[in-house]
Amino acid sequence: MKALRNAFGQFATGVCVVTATNSSGKAVGVTINSFSSVSLDPPLALWSIQNNSDMFEHWCNTERYAINILAADQAGLSGQCAKPGDHVLQEGQSAPSDNGVPLIQGAVATFEMKLVQVVPAGDHHILIGEITEYTNNEDVAPLVFHKGQYRALA
């Protein structure tokens, strides 16, 4: 399994934090790199959640969430949101959108999502959402993840 994980890790990706509000009304975030664009019309994107995540039920049952593509200077936030626990974001790390969905401040791009399909797939579930709003900061460099390490574009 480690060998397959290492082979998957050859695929250089960006890093995202998926955000939403928990049952106590607090902004939470989880680090992922399984983000993929799916469709332009209708606008769809996906990510996958591991079945053994402590927050599995939360993410499979949260209708409104956001996928935030992290900037090169946000490796610390990525590490924070990859730790098991309550995943609650600190003051100033996110701000609510007009629709009340927390968005990561300083992200390269943000996609506000409405969950439309949950597809079981092995040890993960694929969450497909429709993009309802998005932002794009063209001039901000993205964080890159490759072979288990954070990198920046040359």
Ligand X SMILES: Cc1cc2nc3c(=O)[nH]c(=O)nc-3n(C[C@H](O)[C@H](O)[C@H](O)COP(=O)(O)O)c2cc1C
Residue nearest ligand X, Cβ-based:
34
Residue with tokens 């992290």: 70
Q: Residue 24 to residues 20, 88, 107, 134: CA-CA distances in angstroms?
A: 11, 10, 24, 25
- Residue 80: both structure tokens together: 């924070």
Q: Which is nearer to ligand X, 31 or 94 (CB)?
A: 31
Q: Which is nearer to ligand X, 78 or 98 (CB)?
A: 78
Task: Report d(CA 29, CA 126) in Å as an integer.
Answer: 17
Is residue 71 a contact point for ligand X (CB under 6 A)? no
Is residue 33 a contact point for ligand X (CB under 6 A)? yes
Report the residue from 6, 12, 54, 136 that binds ligand X according to the rule CB under 6 A: 54
φ, ψ for residue 57 (rounded to 5)? -65, -40
Q: How far is the CB of 35 from ligand X (least distance, A)?
A: 7
Report the residue from 25, 42, 84, 92 that binds ligand X according to the rule CB under 6 A: 84
Is residue 32 a contact point for ligand X (CB under 6 A)? yes
The secondary structure of 44-65, three-state, reads EEEEEEECCCCCHHHHHCCCEE
Task: Report d(CA 17, CA 11) in Å as an integer.
Answer: 18
Q: How far is the CB of 148 from ligand X (least distance, A)?
A: 8
Residues that bind ligand X (CB under 6 A): 15, 30-34, 47-50, 53-55, 78, 82, 84, 145
